[in-house]
Amino acid sequence: MRTFGVEEELLLVDAQTLEPLPAGEQAVGLGGAAADTGHRLSTELQQEQIEVDCPPQTTLDGQLAAIRTGRALADAAAVRVGGRVVALPTAPGPVAPHIGHERRAQLVSARFGLTAREQLTCGFHVHVAVGSREEGVAVLDRIRVWLPVLLALSSNSPFWNGADSGYSSFRYQAWSRWPTAGPPETFGSAAAYDRHRQDLLSSGVPLDGGMLYFDARLCEHLPTLEVRVADVCLDARHAAVLAALTRALVEHAARDWRAGAAAPEVRASVLRAWMWQASHTGVRGPLVSPVTRTLGPAADVVAQLLEVLHPVLTEHGEAEQIGSVVAEILHHGSGARRQREAFRAGGVLAVVRMAIEATHSTASPAA
């Protein structure tokens, strides 16, 4: 069974005012490592963020426990500087982010200007173990058509600078301003992937390999494939299920590759439109089906994904649990719907209060 681990980028807010708090460097300095759990806290581009790196897991239940532990550790560090951490991919109110003091953050700011200075976004990255670079690239070629569905299920960022963006995941729209972000073409081989990587680095546009912000990529420092499309989720259960779906998608794609099945031929420019649709409507509107390549009800497209992954999920003993949580998302909506409901009830501060409670909730699934 493949191991899988997650990285969660969390927003740091003042515990009293609930405004974004530029104290990530201090918080990480006070509580950066937790050797007994395997978690690690690190800084991000903006000082209003803390990233949590969770240790690899083999089960859905283990992943859920790891995510909850990581959030608790980050929150404990935040409390020491007068803050809280919250699983919000974008700040719901107006904010002027503060670039971190680390040299690389300063270089990114100088190189990319307003794109970097406004880039206060929190994503959810899933690392899945792969046996080789060749297998990793084969998987990348085969999972890319399903990544819009993962984005839709995670969608949790309707607000930008105090206004409703009209999107379910505006984080993805803001993130897409980076020159290397978005869906890549199919590669066909590890050698082709490496040539593409080198062409981008040789152009001098990205500072380094860490700035190859593809929707999914081979990790630069671990033997993993990294899927980067999802918003950080309000509900830790949703996050764990998205991670498990990603692991199952990787396993399914690897089996297809070994069986000689061809990768779906969809141009990156077409796939970018699919991603836009998922970012716009989330699960509240139609999604493009990788099966029909036309718009269909979100529930139908998600059902297609679950059908494709059913053999793997059954082997992992996760099919029933994942199906239940996915049904909950489809019925009650993703985090974007919860944020909009809180905003209608009490504005920006109500959104942050609700999100703090949801981030750290250990409640069982709804009936």
Residue 79, CA distances (Å) to 16, 91, 203 in order: 11, 19, 43
Q: What is the pLDDT of residue 362?
A: 84
CA angle, residues 158, 177, 294, in degrees to nearest 5: 65
CA nearest to 240, candidates 326, 147, 353: 326
Residue written as token pair 């690392």:
127
Q: Indicate the SS3 state at residue 231.
A: strand
pLDDT for residue 43 is more than 90: yes
Compute the average pLDDT of residues 155-183.
Answer: 97
Residues in a beta bridge with 14: 83
Measured CA distances, 362 to 10, 26, 64, 65, 72 (Å): 17, 27, 10, 10, 11
246 Cα distance to chain centroid? 11
- Domain 4-359 is found in CATH 3.30.300.180: no
Q: What is the pLDDT of residue 365?
A: 47
Could you give the CA distance from residue 235 to residue 255 in angstroms, rounded to a whole number? 31
Rounded to whole angstroms, the Cα distance separating 359 from 367 reads: 20
pLDDT at residue 33 tops 90: no
Give the model confidence (pLDDT) of 215-240 as tens digits: 999 998 889 999 999 999 999 999 99
What is the pTM for the complete model shown? Answer: 0.96
Domain boundaries along the sequence of the chain: 4-359
